[in-house]
Chain A
Amino acid sequence: MFSIFTYEFMRNALIAGALASIACGIIGTFVVSKRIVFMSGGIAHSAFGGIGLGYFLGIDPVLGALMFTAPVSVMLGMLSQKAKISEDSVIGIIWSMGMALGIVFIGLSKGYAPDLNSYLFGNILLVPQADLWIMLGLDLAIVAIVTVFFREFRSLCFDEEMSRVLGMPPGFLYILLLVMVALTVVILIRVVGIILVIALLTIPATMARQLTYSMPKMIIWSVALSFVFCFGGLLLSYWLDVASGATIILLAGSVFFIFLGIKKILAKRSQPALKQQ
């Protein structure tokens, strides 16, 4: 069964899945806890502008996405804090403008964009070696930042006003968190694509939250679940010969709903037992 991993592209796919899981497990935990799923969706979709920019400049579109989404997430964070417009309106505007910019950039580029689909929907089987190094670098940055500021980020998610009273800089931390969401989106683009990023940011972390009451453990569970979904999705897509990104998401979503069902059944079973006592 594992003989398929003698192929280099399969080994790369496995490494890509592992690197993606580290980022989306850690950042997904904060995205779910701070309730910025929609915000993260906005950042993810605006990354399309960066992909287009990459094509236009003739550089690796993943690098283009990195150059584009990091400043956009800073702008989003500042707009949602300072401007007197509701946050979801700002997200809606940035979301669609980012995608529109991408389309214009690609239109202006010479030739055509052959692997555009793989950026939109991901293709874990086609991750080039160079992108693996970018992913590793971004993972290291995320792990370092979260290790240094873990207390501050947890406090920010718990009660933003209280963090300010305690002397933390919540405005700065919030923008830093959005920048890390942007980095995570860049890491995930090759694996599941821009459109499906949000599923890997939310499903593992939401399940992990049901499994533990400690945030460090929630991060570990999220990373582990993400890896199981990436690995399982990769194998399934190989055997069934369907798109890998979509398979990973559908596997994660199905497991999530089965998990919810089991939880409900277990809860019902334990209730009569309590009544007897």
Chain B
Amino acid sequence: MHEEVILSMKNITVQYGSTTVLDDVSIDIHDHDSVGIIGPNGGGKTTLLKVMLGLVTPVKGEVTICGLPVEKGLTHVGYVPQRENFLSDFPISVMDVVMMGRYPKRGMFKRYTAEDKELAMEALRYVDMAEYAHRQIGQLSGGQQQRVFIARAIACDPEILLLDEPTSSIDPVQQNAFYEMLKDLNKKMAVVIVSHDISAISVNVEEIVCLNRTLHYHGSSELTEEILEDTYQCPLQFISHGHIPHRVLKEHDHV
């Protein structure tokens, strides 16, 4: 069913001081996979993402992207951060933000070419933001900014797209369109979403990774009550798949 391993993490252990954040986590992501990473806050979701991006170096274990070590493999990764840390009046246009996505293909000392501009524009057209190309990024709404950041991530034609809490900046009405776009992108690249929104994720991806310091589950997104209880260590919203996803809130012992 799956052919090529795009991103491989073997026995990843991460420690912050004396705290072990990730303990012996191994995950392989293949081309055309769509994976949701869930788990409680502080369970290591963000850290795992940072390991994939080479921002956190594990004390143990190995990460490869398309068979390359992380720093070199990052040219095959498109990353959509949760929220950019820029001030809303930062002097940069939408087009210049998307052009940043072409940087890994060029690198230092090499100017962007007409081809880079065309590919950046194409990415903007794909996310339906071409008409805003010359606007200042801070003038856009949260949802529009996110589409620009997706354009930047796909401008380098990546093998894998990583998204950190992508639905936090868009309102519920836009979520369906957003997941439709991801499904379309998934035809060309693997998609990995880190999210706390279990119900939305589980209906929109094929595989789920449950993370709470260790890897609790990695498999089909048909989650069972047991898997979630095991990951979150307490009963919680149970998701069932049907034509209309619905939730049943179970009795909570801890409150």
Binding site for B on A (CB under 8 A): 33, 148-149, 151-152, 154-155, 157-162, 164-168, 209, 212-215, 217-218
Contacts and interface: CB of A to CB of B under 8 A. Distances in A.
Contact of B89 (A158, A165, A209): A209
A33 B85 CA distance: 12
Interface in B122-172: 136
A162 B84 contact: yes
Please give me the 9 A-B residue pairs with the lowest Cβ-Cβ distance, nearest first: A213-B136, A215-B91, A166-B103, A167-B104, A218-B91, A159-B84, A165-B79, A165-B53, A213-B91
A212 B100 CA distance: 20
Interface stretch (B32-40, B69-77, B222-230, B238-246): B69-77
A215 B100 CA distance: 14
A160 B86 CA distance: 10
Nearest to A29: B91
Given A162-B81, A162-B84, A33 B75 contact: no
Nearest to A214: B91
Interface residues of B, number: 27
Contacts of A160: 85
A85 to B, nearest CB: 16
B249 interface: no
A168 B92 contact: no
B55 interface: yes
Contacts of A168: 103, 108
B77 A165 contact: yes
A157, A165, A167, A212 pick with most chain B CB within 10 angstroms: A165
Given A165-B53, A167-B104, A158 B92 contact: yes
Contacts of B90: 33, 157-158
Interface of B: 53-55, 71, 74-75, 77, 79, 81, 84-86, 89-93, 96-97, 100-101, 103-104, 107-109, 136
Nearest to A216: B91
Contacts of A151: 100, 103
A164 B52 CA distance: 13
A157 B197 CA distance: 31
A264 B100 CA distance: 34
A83 B159 CA distance: 36
B79 A215 contact: no
8 contacts: A151-B100, A158-B97, A159-B85, A161-B55, A165-B77, A167-B74, A168-B103, A168-B108
B54 A158 contact: no
A209 B79 contact: no
Given A159-B86, A209-B91, A213-B91, A166 B100 contact: yes
Given A154-B92, A167-B107, A162 B74 contact: no
A148 B91 contact: no
A164 B55 contact: yes
Given A33-B90, A167-B104, A159 B81 contact: yes
Nearest to A160: B85
B79 A162 contact: yes
Contacts of B86: 158-159
Contacts of A164: 53-55
A194 B81 CA distance: 40
A165 B74 contact: yes
B170 to A, nearest CB: 19
Contact of B55 (A33, A165, A167, A218): A165
A152 B75 CA distance: 16
Contacts of A167: 71, 74-75, 103-104, 107
A148, A149, A157, A217 pick with most chain B CB within 10 angstroms: A157
B60 to A, nearest CB: 22
A151 B105 CA distance: 14
A29 B109 CA distance: 22
A188 to B, nearest CB: 23
A134 B210 CA distance: 61
Contacts of A213: 91-93, 136
Contacts of B109: 148
A11 to B, nearest CB: 35
